[in-house]
Structure 1
Amino acid sequence: MKLGSIMSLICIFSVCFCLALYLCCDLRCKRFAEHLAQLEEAEEIFDCFTLSYRSFGIQRRSDNGLVLREWAPGAEAVFLTGDFSKFLGKNSLGNYTSPKVDKSPAIKHLTKLKLVVLTKTGEYLFWISPWAKYVTKTLDSVTYDWTHWDPPQRYQFQHTRPPRPSSLRIYEAHVGISSPEGKIASYKNFTRDVLPHIKDLLMAIMEHAYYASFGYQVTNFFAASSRFGTPDDLKHLVDTAHSMGITVLLDVVHRHASSNTEDGLNYFDGTDSCFFHGGSRGNHSLWGSRLFNYSSWEVARFLLSNLRWWKEEYHFDGFRFDAVTSMLYQHHGIGHHFWGNYSEYFGMHVDEDALVYLMLANHILHKLYPQCITVAEDVSGMPGLCRPIEEGGLGFDYRLTMAVPDKWIQVLKEVGAEDWDLKNIVHTLTNKRRGEASITYAESHDQVNNLQVTGILADGQRYVHQHLIAMTPVIDRGIQLFKLIRLLTHSLGGNEFGHPEWLDFPKKGNNESYYYAHRLFNLVDIEHLRYRQLYAFDRDMNLTEDKYGWLAAVTTLNQADKVIVFERANLLFVFNFHPCNSYIDYRVAVEHAGKYPFTRDLQKTST
């Protein structure tokens, strides 16, 4: 075949492929628009639809009477029972209105409750309402109890949300492991001890029966985890964070739910398809959890109202959506490697219902809360994930890039510093879709739960030789290299954070030990230890970024010299990763001629 014919075929293929991509994006936009129009037509406005937590579950009327409303399409009837020792109500939808009560509420605050679901086969199931706002359990109990949360006085927030930051500098934090002691820390511990040290992200807030699931196997989506304290304690935590100017994001899990029955959503109406897909499609083969049916009207009501609940009731400033890759694809990313071919992002293997749900969630959140921040944890590189919906995107503000922490672990474990491939490292740090904002960590919670950067760099000496006087070459080199890694990731890749300790939760595999389920935040307050220097470096690095705000492109990369140079926000960054050589009069290219004074913004950490 002649070259001209080959080129013609290539051009025709390119045009056809681009047209196919355009039609796919156009179809997604049309499906989103149709779904939103149907929602608004059936529910008047999406504002009411997404505030369904005010009408579902148990609600107290103005006369102190009671309204109960549940969605259980596969059930014969639904009853309410509790400490009052009698059944209340019977209706196929679970609707019940109590008699008028003049003085005290029909059901008192902290009353233990149960829903009794009568199945089509005549079986009685004792469950917790999917809309339960508070669940508790005793130490000797396996499952949670539904505890009615209706305090006489509602918590009053004292502080307004801080303005949306122009750039995110995130530190992930788990409430339960925020204490230096081997115990489950509380919201109060976190408010008092941790907020002064770190900011911006809270993990594992929704109630989850299995503590070792890190909060990613949710049982009760509207209940703040009682193992850390009361709902008011969490509200005080968020309120205090706002008083410090801290933006608080919630790690939200809308991919899947715990397979628990008595205290979860599974088999709520006696069938396996109430909130989830029935059969094998409704079960995650690796996680053992149940997968939501995003095409269901009532599932959309439940999940969208869940977002509104955490925004309205607890004043969270935004959300990090967990496991978005698993949501977007029928294969859930299991055993699948994404190579950037556009055929991976379009076709029958894409879960279009999940995709439209995410578009709806972003549309509603940004329409009602213009300052809201949404972050997608995605490893696939789905095109348009962080582009506006009107452009055919999904509407997220940021993509959480997952490859960079894995890259640092790989480099540190497999290659000596003298053999680092800087071109490959820079490529990993800058490998992102044009026009999309991203968040990048030097190490994320996934790495911390295995073998993390600090452990490798310290070569087993993390807990010794940290005194300022008794420094060793191993610790000194590890700390300096760690600073370079963090600053390079922060300035070239995006945002970053770090953990001081390998973490794990109590579980059967470690004899339910809390040995690794704690965080040594107190170390940074000890003046003679070098942890204080790392903390100061992080602080000054973030303050410097806050002052200048860096976005950039690489200008120089010398593999032989192990030097990386780039410009961002009128700043010139020069990194020397060579294990032995220092350089004088090193020539680099810059975009603008002039004098580049050496800034001392980060130098105070060396004292």
Structure 2
Amino acid sequence: METLNLIKNDPWLEPYADAINGRHKHASEKEAELTNKGKQTLSDFASGYLYFGLHRTDNGWVFREWAPNATQIFLIGTFNDWKEEKKYSLKRKANGNWEIKLPADAMKHGDLYKLMVHWDGGCGERIPAWTNRVVQDEQTKIFSAQVWAPEKPYKMKKKTFKAATDPLLIYECHIGMAQEEEKVGSYREFQEKILPRIAKDGYNCIQIMAIQEHPYYGSFGYHVSNFFAASSRFGTPEELKELIDTAHSMGIAVIMDIVHSHAVKNEVEGLGNFAGDPNQYFYPGARREHPAWDSLCFDYGKNEVIHFLLSNCKYWMEEYHFDGFRFDGVTSMLYYSHGLGEAFCNYGDYFNGHQDDNAICYLTLANRLIHQVNPKAITIAEEVSGMPGLAAKFEDGGYGFDYRMAMNIPDYWIKTIKEKIDEDWKPSSMFWEVTNRRQDEKTISYAESHDQALVGDKTIVFRLIDADMYWHMQKGDENYTVHRGIALHKMIRLLTASTINGGYLNFMGNEFGHPEWIDFPREGNGWSCKYARRQWNLVDNKNLAYHYLGDFDCAMLEVIKSVKNFQTTPIQEIWHNDGDQILAYMRKDLIFVFNFNPKQSFTDYGFLVPAGKYEVILNTDNPDYGGHGLTDDTVKHFTLSDPLYKKEKKEWLKLYIPARTAMVLKRGK
């Protein structure tokens, strides 16, 4: 057998060649099985949403459900006063499937419905597993499926769209909390008020959380009940489609935070005990429940479950034109332990037999399918263990994700801020942390995501400034703590974003230092939305210092986008000195210089760089971004020759670098 490139690229993986080859073979054989040895495509196989669920036909309706343990199933709803009637009784078909065909007047758009499922020893109301619309009654709080067949369904104006990934600049967002008002925001409001902000800021992709229907709003969308239903608390399917269409017209890609790592336990709303069989969709025994998340774990070894989940991926791409997915909780899927209590210290921890080969196979097939449906689709793995090959090509022995989240970076920044005084921040350590990654796998770098903004944690700006945000963010009234926080916030982001090898991510509002934490409405806070919103007025108010951070973020992205294929240009370290706390590196014609020293500014600090004229194009100390303006950035910097480095074509660039500042210089022709 020819050695896979994953192993060729990393000789340390050679001792685990059998395991890597075995996983690759497992996925190949499963794909052959599901596609009848290539007689159909994986995309053909993943079309379950066109068969199951409720569909309008030329002469009426057809409804189908997979419920092998059921003995009888009725459709009940507003059309029959929620009563079991013979004419709404489903017929058992082959392979555990059930079906009913109804005349056109049997139901109408907007009707509510459920299934009444009978099994040996019991019965119960269930929301269909494949339903594409679920709504909650405001008074009773009860969820029901809804017939969704509008007379004029939304038609996408932009039929084709290619995401800009040069580089991928992701704005992570949540529809419900994107509004200023203390309420749950809507798809329409997001489209009209927030998309223009994102486009103006310079991001070319949004990653939307909490799209799949979830009974508890405060779960942030991670306890999914209805996998094919776009959450109705934000509006209608037509409004979500229009939002995506509008984003595309602005050149913004739309990816979805998809949850296939687990499901909510709910039985009436979800899949927890669908037809009296608690294991229809989920692993049996001790592996059924996730010990930390109070949720259920899919049985990725069942073809029917693979069919359900793969069809789910294709559905969101075909029906809504999503450009890809960020897969949540991948670490939890990969390991029997869900990664809990594991240190992942060496390669042996990835190949010790404690991995779920079924889940690995599913993730590989999901990537195969997604890129078959749309070769330009984007897939990102949220994975903390560092599993090798996750974002390597399938042909090379990898799992096929386009990117993996660089989850080490936010952890590093939080740990540094929490545990070290400014004088102990080491540029060599910072540079290693933001560039430490597998060469054959692209990553999404980020300083912080929604994780750091939740109750129980703190955002970077809140850790840096804390309570002084309430009293000293008025321009002209900033104290030392605020000045320090603003300076480090910009420097941390610039170092993180300028060292990417794939893409960069920012969570909604963090670009301008949104204060406080996110706390969704719950009993403990009187069901208030006060902390589940974004206070855009803070960045819009030019009398407050927040706009400095927002303006800097915009300028930083402009610099990154000014270099073609910035993310693939080599990063060349020029210099670091942990004593001085100075760091400098180069990407193409740009030089990035950081002085993390809290007290000492340096005059005529020299770096050996390619000869030429250099101009400052971004400076964290610029007064426009809340800096002190200690340098004259109109000055052109000419390098000074040194006979010792003539052969290397290097000359000295001498700079004045104020304390706690960073600058970007561009080499002129």
Fold shared, TM-score > 0.5 on shorter chain: yes
2:31 aligns with one of 25, 30, 36: 36
TM-score normalised by the chain length of structure 2: 0.84
Q: Residue type of the partner of 2:525?
A: N
Q: Is residue 2:486 matched to residue 1:469?
A: no
1:573 aligns with one of 569, 592, 600: 592
Q: Is residue 2:326 matched to residue 1:320?
A: yes
Measured after TM superposition, the shift of residue 17 of structure 1 is 7.9
**Greater per-residue strand proportion:** 2
CA distance in 2, matches of 1:173, 1:381: 25
Q: 1:111-141: per-residue Cα shift (whole Å, max 9, x none)?
A: 11111111122x1211000111111112233
CA distance in 1, matches of 2:361, 2:21: 12
Match of 2:78 in 1: 83
Measured after TM superposition, the shift of residue 18 of structure 1 is 5.1
- 1:330-349 matched pairs, under 5 angstroms: 330-339=336-345, 341-349=346-354
Aligned with 2:484: secondary structure? Answer: helix
Match of 1:27 in 2: 22
- 1:481-520 matched pairs, under 5 angstroms: 481-493=488-500, 495-498=504-507, 499=510, 500-501=514-515, 502-520=517-535
Q: 1:440-474: per-residue Cα shift (whole Å, max 9, x none)?
A: 11111111112111112223122333233333332
CA contact (8 A) 2:91 2:100 kept: no
TM-score normalised by the chain length of structure 1: 0.92
CA distance in 2, matches of 1:553, 1:264: 51
Match of 1:357 in 2: 362
Could you tell which deviates more after superposition, 191-200 or 294-303?
191-200
Could you tell which deviates more after superposition, 160-169 or 559-568?
160-169
Match of 2:196 in 1: 196
Aligned residues: CA RMSD: 2.0
CA distance in 2, matches of 1:155, 1:105: 23
CA contact (8 A) 1:489 1:496 kept: no
Measured after TM superposition, the shift of residue 389 of structure 1 is 0.3
Match of 1:245 in 2: 251
Match of 1:12 in 2: none
Q: Residue type of the partner of 1:587?
A: G
Aligned with 1:233: secondary structure? Answer: helix
CA contact (8 A) 1:113 1:145 kept: yes
CA distance in 2, matches of 1:418, 1:432: 27
Match of 2:461 in 1: 454
Match of 1:59 in 2: 55
Measured after TM superposition, the shift of residue 94 of structure 1 is 4.8
> Where does the alignment leave 5 or more consecutive residues of structure 1 unmatched?
1-14
Distance 1:358 1:16, change over 3 A: closer
Q: Is residue 2:454 matched to residue 1:436?
A: no
Match of 2:650 in 1: none
CA contact (8 A) 1:109 1:150 kept: yes
Distance 1:335 1:141, change over 3 A: farther
Could you tell which deviates more after superposition, 533-542 or 138-147?
138-147
- 1:394-405 matched pairs, under 5 angstroms: 394-405=399-410
Measured after TM superposition, the shift of residue 196 of structure 1 is 1.5
1:535 aligns with one of 525, 550, 559: 550
1:95 aligns with one of 79, 98, 102: 98
> Where does the alignment leave 5 or more consecutive residues of structure 2 unmatched?
1-9, 627-669
Match of 1:292 in 2: 298
Q: Residue type of the partner of 1:568?
A: R
CA contact (8 A) 1:82 1:112 kept: yes
- What fraction of aligned residue pairs are identical, expressed as a percent? 41
1:524 aligns with one of 539, 543, 550: 539
Match of 2:131 in 1: 132
CA distance in 2, matches of 1:375, 1:195: 22
CA contact (8 A) 2:389 2:398 kept: yes
Q: 1:418-459: per-residue Cα shift (whole Å, max 9, x none)?
A: 121333222221221122111111111111112111112223
CA contact (8 A) 2:172 2:505 kept: no
Measured after TM superposition, the shift of residue 216 of structure 1 is 0.3
Q: 1:201-229: per-residue Cα shift (whole Å, max 9, x none)?
A: 11111110011110000000011111111
CA contact (8 A) 1:83 1:112 kept: yes
CA distance in 1, matches of 2:413, 2:11: 39
Q: 1:74-121: per-residue Cα shift (whole Å, max 9, x none)?
A: 22232212222235133334533425x4xx554200111111111122
CA distance in 1, matches of 2:194, 2:13: 50
CA distance in 1, matches of 2:13, 2:149: 56
Match of 1:157 in 2: 156
Match of 1:374 in 2: 379
Q: Is residue 2:614 matched to residue 1:596?
A: yes
CA distance in 2, matches of 1:40, 1:582: 65
Match of 1:556 in 2: 575
CA distance in 1, matches of 2:363, 2:559: 34
CA contact (8 A) 1:68 1:97 kept: yes
Measured after TM superposition, the shift of residue 248 of structure 1 is 1.0
